Each structure stands twice: as C-alpha cells, then as structure tokens.
Amino acid sequence: MQRIFLLWLMAASSLWAQPAAQPVKIVVTPDHADWQYKLGEPAKFSVTVYRYNVPVKDVKLRYEVGPEKMKPTQSQTRTLPTGTLTIDGGTMKQAGFLRCTAIAEIDGQEYRGLCTAGFEPLTIKPTVQNPADFEQFWNDAKVELAKLPVDARLRLLPERCTATVNVYEVNMQNYGTSRLYGIVCIPKAEGKYPALLRVPGAGVRPYYGDVATAEKGVITLEIGIHGIPVTLDPAVYDNLRGGGLLNYQSANLDDRDRYYYKRVYLGCVRAVDFLTGLPQYDGQTIAVTGGSQGGALSIVTAALDNRIKWLGAFYPALSDMTGYLNGRAGGWPHLFFGNNLAFNNTPAKISTVGYYDVVNFARLVRVPGAYAWGFNDETCPPTSMYAAYNVLGSPKSLNLYFDTGHWQYAEERDRMNEWLLEQFKSVR
C-alpha cells in the first residue's frame, strides 16, 4: 500500500515538475534579458531549433505571435536554412503579455517552444467585478461554519510514520453536511510547533502528506477538497475524475450560495480551525501554501482567516476569470473561454464569479506573502496572476522564473520552502 501511494505522490509531483527532456528542442528567447518591455516598445524573438543541442538546418517552422490566449496577430511558416530565425513580434499598447509560439515537425513528430514578453505587467488592472457585499457574504458564511463543531477524527497510518513523525488521515466536519479529509503529520517529540497548511492543486487524487517538513519540526496538514477520503485505491479517483467530479470547477456556477468552491474555501478555514486546536500547536505560527488551484486557495485562506501569518503561492488560478469578457486572457478554469463561453456567459454566472475570484480576496490579504510563477504559463496566464498580485496591499515578493510554464524548478520549490521555514524561525 505504501508503495502505491509513493507512486501516486511521484505522479502528482510531476504535475509541477520540469518537463521531460526531448531530443529536439525549440528555444524561443526575447531580446530583453528580463523578458519585459515598455508599452509601445518593439519585442523581437529569436527561435532556434536544436537536435542533440545542434541547430537543425533547413527545418520548416511555423510560428504565431499575439496576446496570450487570444487570436494571433501574425502567423507564418518559414524554412530556416541555419535553424535560427528572428521574429519581429511587434508591441502592445496596453499592459499585458505577448506570446510567440513556434512549432516544427521532425521525423513525423511535432515539437513546440514558446516565449512570452511582458509589457508593464505591474500596471495590469483586474477586470472582475468586486461585489459591494463581498466581505459581508464571506463573513456570514464563516459564522455559519463556526456553528459546526470541528469533530476531528484521526486514524494513524503506521506505514507512513517515521522515527520522528506520526502520520494520520484526518477528517472533520466541514460546511453543510460535508467532511474535509487530509493527511496531518505531527512531530513525535514533546513540544509546541508551528503549523503549515498545504492546499491542493486542481484534480482528484490521493494525498500522502508533507512528512519531510514535519521532520523539521513543523505540523503539516495537506488537505483534499472534494469531501472524500484521501487514502482510497487510485482507481476510485480515476473514476470520480471522469465521472461525478468531472468539471467540478463549474458546478452550480449560477448560484453564489451553491457554487462548488463555497464549501472548498470554507474548508480551508476549517483546516485552520483544526490545526490551531491541536495541543501541539504553538499558538501563533501558521502559514499556508500551494500551487495553481492551491495558489488561489493560499490567497483565499489568508484573506478569510486572520490566524494565517504568511502565505506562499505558486501561479495562482481562479484569478481575474472575466478577462476573456474584456478582450484578454482570464484565469483558470477559463470559464469564459472557447466552448465554455456560450454556456457560462450569463448575468448570474458572471455575478457568482465576483464572489470567488482571487482578485477580490487578494484585496483583503494583510500578511506577508511570497509568490512565484513564469511568463510561459498557459494554464494560469500571467495576465490573470498579475491582476491579483497588483491589488495586494500587504508585504509581497514575486520570484519570477521566466521560462517556466505551469510547472516549477526544484530550486523554485526549495526557495519557497526555505522562505516559509525562515518565517517560522523568526518568531521563535
């Protein structure tokens, strides 16, 4: 059983990991080292097709340039005698991101590379509506949650425990009639410890828990969001992913009180209730972190719960989701993009989005946060992430890894973990 979960942990981690190397690479680079430009300033992209690290001569390349996720403003096919091409990408007159995508076919297989130039991204403003009763809506919801007992039930997982850490599956009462499940890791030695809440990226999967951080003297809780145990047979999650939980991101979008994420957001507050109620908790030191959907939930949790002292967010999803209704990229889950547009473009659904968009939670964050993403992210477009980042009034730092898409370098993850641990040490 332990081997199965380790395999699943490795698979889940690969979702954020650097893509596997291929024999052919298409490297697209901007002519500014910081990948950033002033409005009206021209951007040029250099494209080189490599095979075994040597430029491929006479390769046929097709490329597109345009604002990210939008219709290209130019598209051409060229033959590259030396394997290299310089493209005049033009410019942008409004803050945002210009993307150059290049594709070559070699031996019957397509290879792809891209580069995304930022035009004054720190001036990007959100498009999403901020409801007048936003804070009241969530304050009322938290009052309803507080009426419910935590009712935490722990089950020791001996096969996952280490010499210094006990590992449990925990479930607790969440909003409504649902339960919240997760894996909590608690140092065995007597004492009081800081706590770290890990919130998940999108999907349906089991969880293994953050034992490594717990071994450094931190209570960790990694939660799922779907109200189901997180230690089931992998086939159960496969079936739910393609069945009952398919497209959960859109469930009940026409009703702000029934939308899927209401229980999810309140579940993050309930997780904090549980952690701060543990006898081993030190009473003052708690942070939240995650990537993608988890990056969004990190910001949401810090906004809703003043017990959170720090947050670490990788490429936050659910940010400025109405961008597409305003002629630019919007955040995952792309509710108003492609085939989703005709179905979701209704007043009721647009109104609901305002109560769940990360931009409006970011306005309420009051604690220090570390943020990290890349310009080549096609899942969480940087336009949408900057829309949330730019409204933050709290202390913040942004670590850019320009060429990353919806994944992380190991160094990027290590830097975030080290920052969180440094915050814990600073209050001891």
| Interval 206-233: pLDDT, tens | 999 999 999 999 999 999 999 999 999 9
> Which pLDDT score, from 0 to 100, does residue 16 have?
61
The rounded distance, in Å, linking the Cα atoms of 132 and 301 is 20
If you search the block for the tokens 């942070």, which residue do you land on? 287
| H helices, E strands: number in the chain | 11, 18
Backbone angles phi, psi at 160, to 5 degrees: -105, -10
Closest CA relative to residue 68, chosen from 419, 405, 412: 405
Closest CA relative to residue 316, chosen from 244, 393, 387, 238: 387
Across the range 27-48, mean pLDDT stands at 98
Among the options 292, 298, 319, 384, which is catalytic?
292
Mean pLDDT of the chain: 96
Q: Among this protein's residues, is 406 annotated catalytic?
A: yes
Please answer whether residues 100 and 64 qualify as being in contact, where contact means their C-beta atoms are separated by less than 8 angstroms.
yes
> Which pLDDT score, from 0 to 100, does residue 244 have?
96
Residue 369 has pLDDT above 50, yes or no: yes
> Which pLDDT score, from 0 to 100, does residue 81 have?
98
Tokens of 222: 């990694």
> Which pLDDT score, from 0 to 100, does residue 18 have?
84
DSSP SS3 for 88: strand
The model's pTM:
0.96
Q: Among this protein's residues, is 292 annotated catalytic?
A: yes
Residue 8 has pLDDT above 80, yes or no: no
The rounded distance, in Å, linking the Cα atoms of 197 and 265 is 13
DSSP SS3 for 156: strand
Confidence bin at 428 (pLDDT 50/70/90): low
The rounded distance, in Å, linking the Cα atoms of 210 and 198 is 8
Question: Which percentage of the chain shows pLDDT scores above 70?
Answer: 96
> Which pLDDT score, from 0 to 100, does residue 180 have?
98
> Which pLDDT score, from 0 to 100, does residue 1 have?
41
- Tally the residues of the chain: 428
> Which pLDDT score, from 0 to 100, does residue 208 have?
97
Domains and CATH numbers, the chain: 24-121 (2.60.40.1930), 134-426 (3.40.50.1820)
Confidence bin at 330 (pLDDT 50/70/90): very high
The rounded distance, in Å, linking the Cα atoms of 300 and 291 is 13
Q: Among this protein's residues, is 426 annotated catalytic?
A: no
Instruction: Summarize pLDDT for 147-197 with one digit per residue, the tens.
Output: 999 999 999 999 999 999 999 999 999 999 999 999 999 999 999 999 999
Confidence bin at 427 (pLDDT 50/70/90): confident
Instruction: Give the start-end residues of each E strand in 242-333.
Output: 281-291, 310-314
> Which pLDDT score, from 0 to 100, does residue 17 have?
76
Confidence bin at 201 (pLDDT 50/70/90): very high
